[in-house]
Amino acid sequence: MRRIGYRYQRTLARTAEVQGVGFITGSHSRLRFLPSAPDSGVVFVRTDLPGRPSFAASAEQVTDTNRRTTIGPNGSGVTLVEHALAALAGLRIDNCTIELDAPEPPGLDGSAAGFVTALVAAGAALQSARRSTLAVTEPIVINHNGATVGLHPPTNGSTGLTASYILDYGPNSPIVRQSYTTELRPETFAREIAGCRTFLLESEAHELRNQGIGQHLTPDQLLVFGPRGPLENSLRFADEPARHKVLDLVGDLSLCGFDLVGHVVAYRSGHALNVALAAALTAEAMRPDDVRANPRVGFARRQRAA
């Protein structure tokens, strides 16, 4: 990888708070976004547990990626972190302490819109420390069972990150094949991505309820697709599922801890592949400059299985 440049880090101007019911446990959750020092990154703190255990939002702290991203060990960690992380990353809030009195953030409507509203109201403060902006010199692609996600080098002097997601559940799925591409900027994220909700098939919803997950939820609280489309609900965008996948991607890739430049392209990927890509990019960024500059090494790392 190579450094394209940098920008000055940002934190919140004041504390922001969001309350609601968690999607997984169904228990009430209070989340507080607090300003924090330069270079501290994003840190989750469980205020409901003895010793207030804390976990950095980094790829190495991820312990589970089954249908959601979990940071920290079972029992003391935090699950379904991707929407809160996406809100911070989408608005370019780099340093923040997230206090939680529950094992998961409020589920809200299954999107990041409630978090974005709270963060925008709190405002941002510029800090003196710099945050690096990195790009790959060769594509780094993660693939598994026909799904793939990869970061490709920037073209034509681009200094931003473009995200593309291709969603394909197959020809007989009630969710039609769709794609979405956007350049990730705070204003675009807030307007076109943040409000896109979690979705699942009716069969998946029944399976999760049988496991004791989300038994308090009804179809009007998130997108559940039956044979003829959303049940008791309507789409905010025709391609809302693909946009929500980009939302998840933004949250998961924020685990790198630095800005990315280039084009991230995903096909049927989920949290497992997203986090694997974040881990691969983090490892690549930490390699010595003389190794990263070796084109043979770069080519050998272009593709790997998750």
Per-residue pLDDT at 156: 84
Among 83, 244, 263, 271, the active-site one is 271
CA distances from 135 to 201, 258, 284 (A): 36, 10, 10
User: Is-catalytic flag, 271?
Assistant: yes
Per-residue pLDDT at 304: 55
Per-residue pLDDT at 178: 97
What is the architecture, at CATH level 2, of domain 2-305?
2-Layer Sandwich (3.30)
Q: Is the pTM of this model over 0.85?
A: yes
128 touches 113 (CB < 8 A): no
- Average pLDDT, 10 consecutive residues per value, the chain (306 residues): 94 98 93 98 98 97 96 95 98 98 96 98 98 96 97 90 97 94 97 96 85 78 89 95 98 97 98 98 82 36 50
Q: For the range 208-215, what are the long-range contacts, defined as Cβ-Cβ under 8 Å and sequence gap of 24 or more?
A: 213/24, 214/23, 214/24, 214/26, 215/26
Give residue limits of the domains in the chain: 2-305
Per-residue pLDDT at 105: 98
The gap from C-alpha 78 to its chain's centroid, in whole angstroms, comes to 14
164 touches 230 (CB < 8 A): no
CA distances from 56 to 43, 62, 81, 208 (A): 4, 9, 12, 28
Per-residue pLDDT at 287: 82
Paired tokens of 85: 């992380």
Residue 290, C-beta contacts closer than 8 angstroms, at least 6 positions apart:
none
